[in-house]
Amino acid sequence: MEIKPLGDHSNSSLETQKAPSQNTQTNGVFISTYGCQMNSNDSERMYSLLEMANFTPVNTPEQANLIIINSCSVREKPVHKVYSEVGRYKKLKKKNPNLKIGVGGCVGQQEKSALTKEQPLIDFVFGPDNIDELPNIVQNAYSSDGKIIHAKFYNNEPYHIENMVRNPGVSTFVNITKGCDNFCTFCVVPFTRGRLRSRPAQDILSDIEKLVDRGVKEVTLLGQNVNSYMGECGTNFAQLLVLLAEKTNILRIRYTTSHPKDFTEELCQVHRDYKEKVCDYIHLPVQSGNSEVLHRMNRVYTREDYLKKIEMIYKYVPSVSLSSDFIVGFPGETESQFLDTLSLIEKVKYESLYAFKYSPRPFTKAARFGDQVAEDVMQDRLDRLLQLHRAGSFQECQKYVGDIVEVLVDKEDSQKPGYMTGRSSQNKITHFEGSRDLIGQIVKVKIEQSHPQTLHGIRV
């Protein structure tokens, strides 16, 4: 893989700097990753950049001379999680005076120097937009006694990166956008990831071609709101999918996450016309089934708008599998508004969903709303929502029994020798009898048993 040396930012002086000189052999780096797939991809990028600066990835913090916590702040006590992890490294710091500890990711961006003030074991802090500068930041941390804080957005610069996944396997992730401009009133992401930026379509195309050459068969396009993608020549998300489907030899394309407001008829047509490549799975987070709550969340669609989009999707892609995210106990949510969420779940019949208790986040509007919902009420709503979904999804998935599904085989079944697993186009993990030589191939499996998360069948 061709790897661009360090960052693209014009003010970067990284190319002229050397890696830390001490103990090259023992320059182990350990990265602890929280949060979304973006953060996992960012950690891969950090490892690759640090390898070019003479660090060696290690499997445990005990082996490391450099520990980085790639943090997430989307929900529940994120800052506390960082402090408690750093606290666990106190003994290692005592034993190894060369050990440096850094915090990156969304908590780094959100808290900046507050982190080093509160927890002096932290040597440096950087934000998600500063990853290309990491070798330089680390260099500075080694050469100075002070704390290094580098959490700056490049909101006005084009988004140029190259994929740096180290061991992509059969299926991997490719960033297409960064940041978000939607400002849902509950969400910290626009403050931790900055403004929406889209990568040039040609860059994405060439990344995917290179991944294909490395044996990748499936890519998942990544962004906080992928269907707001806008390439440099006006390429929209649906057009990007067509380009990737037509111009690359990738077998399958998935994407996450899409926003209902940007889910267009054109995109549905692409699902229908490129069904061979664009998978029958759509994650379309609704958050609430009540229009008044949606309005206060600034989701800019109503319950009715969302249901119309679902109808449109089913019209073009009848075999689609849908999933969603929900927040229960958004400030001011009444019992009857919550019941609208339950009724939406009954109507849409999601095959899987993720539900969260609302948690107030810094900088967000909803954190300042007066009528926060009590913890026990949120817990009760979450339990009821999950119970309803469990019953419904078991029923729903029975439709696969007897069907023949196409499975992209990705590994051996860790539980059952002689069995393999892969994913169907609908994103269901499918188990069947087979051998390792099938890895990377799409095989047909007749389904005998179906559970909400997994299918079991025989190869036909």
Does residue 177 touch ligand F3S according to CB under 6 A? no
Tally the C-alpha atoms within 13 A of residue 357's C-alpha that lie toward its C-beta.
15
Closer to ligand SAH at the Cβ: 222 or 420?
A: 222
The size of the interface with ligand F3S (CB under 6 A), counted in residues, is: 13
Shortest CB 438 distance to ligand SAH, Å: 34
Does residue 286 touch ligand SF4 according to CB under 6 A? no
Return d(Cα 105, Cα 46) in angstroms, integer: 11
Q: Which does 279 bind (CB under 5 to 8 A by kind): ligand SF4, ligand F3S, ligand SAH, none?
A: none
Q: Which does 356 bind (CB under 5 to 8 A by kind): ligand SF4, ligand SAH, ligand F3S, none?
A: ligand SAH
Closer to ligand SF4 at the Cβ: 47 or 326?
A: 326
Report the site for ligand SF4 in 251-270 (rule: CB under 6 A).
Answer: 259
Among 112, 193, 277, 309, binds ligand F3S (CB under 6 A): 193
233: which 2 tokens? 């020549």
Among 58, 72, 187, 353, binds ligand SF4 (CB under 6 A): 187
The size of the interface with ligand SAH (CB under 6 A), counted in residues, is: 17
Closer to ligand SAH at the Cβ: 262 or 433?
A: 262
Q: Which stretch binds ligand SF4 (CB under 6 A): 27-35, 41-49, 179-187, 274-282?
A: 179-187
Shortest CB 228 distance to ligand SAH, Å: 10
Does residue 190 touch ligand SF4 according to CB under 6 A? yes
Which residues are CB-contacts of 66 (< 8 A; sequence separation ≥ 6)?
Answer: 27, 28, 29, 30, 50, 55, 99, 100, 102, 138
What does R_g of the chain's alpha carbons equal in angstroms?
Answer: 23
- Please choose, from the candidates 64, 55, 108, the residue with its C-alpha nearest in 3D space to the C-alpha of residue 82: 108
Between CA 48 and CA 57, with CA 51 as vertex, the angle to 5 degrees is 90
Biggest CA–CA distance in the chain, Å, is 66
Q: Which does 149 bind (CB under 5 to 8 A by kind): ligand F3S, ligand SF4, ligand SAH, none?
A: none
Burial of 218 per CB tally in 10 Å (0-12, 13-18, 19+):
buried
Return d(Cα 408, Cα 266) in angstroms, integer: 27
Closer to ligand SAH at the Cβ: 189 or 253?
A: 189
The size of the interface with ligand SF4 (CB under 6 A), counted in residues, is: 10
Which residues are CB-contacts of 92 (< 8 A; sequence separation ≥ 6)?
Answer: 61, 62, 64, 67, 99
Does residue 35 touch ligand F3S according to CB under 6 A? yes
Per-residue buried b or exposed e for 242-253, using 16+ beta carbons within 10 Å of the residue's own CB = bbbbeebebbbb
Does residue 183 touch ligand SF4 according to CB under 6 A? yes
Q: Which does 198 bind (CB under 5 to 8 A by kind): ligand SF4, ligand SAH, ligand F3S, none?
A: none
Per-residue buried b or exposed e for 330-365, using 16+ beta carbons within 10 Å of the residue's own CB = bbebeeebbebbbebbeebebbbbebbbbbebeebe
Q: Which stretch binds ligand F3S (CB under 6 A): 160-168, 184-192, 240-248, 260-268?
A: 184-192
- Please choose, from the candidates 289, 354, 284, the residue with its C-alpha nearest in 3D space to the C-alpha of residue 313: 284
Does residue 327 touch ligand SAH according to CB under 6 A? yes
Name the residue with the smallest CB distance to ligand F3S.
Answer: 35
Helix (H, G, I), strand (E, B) or coil at 403: coil
Tally the C-alpha atoms within 13 A of residue 162's C-alpha that lie toward its C-beta.
15
Return d(Cα 355, Cα 212) in angstroms, integer: 35
Does residue 182 touch ligand SF4 according to CB under 6 A? yes
Residue 263 CB neighbours (<10 A): 21
Give the footprint of ligand F3S on this chain (CB under 6 A).
35-36, 38-39, 72-74, 105-106, 188-189, 192-193
By CB under 6 A, name the binding residues for ligand SAH: 74-75, 186-187, 189, 224-225, 257, 259, 285, 287, 325, 327, 356, 358-359, 361
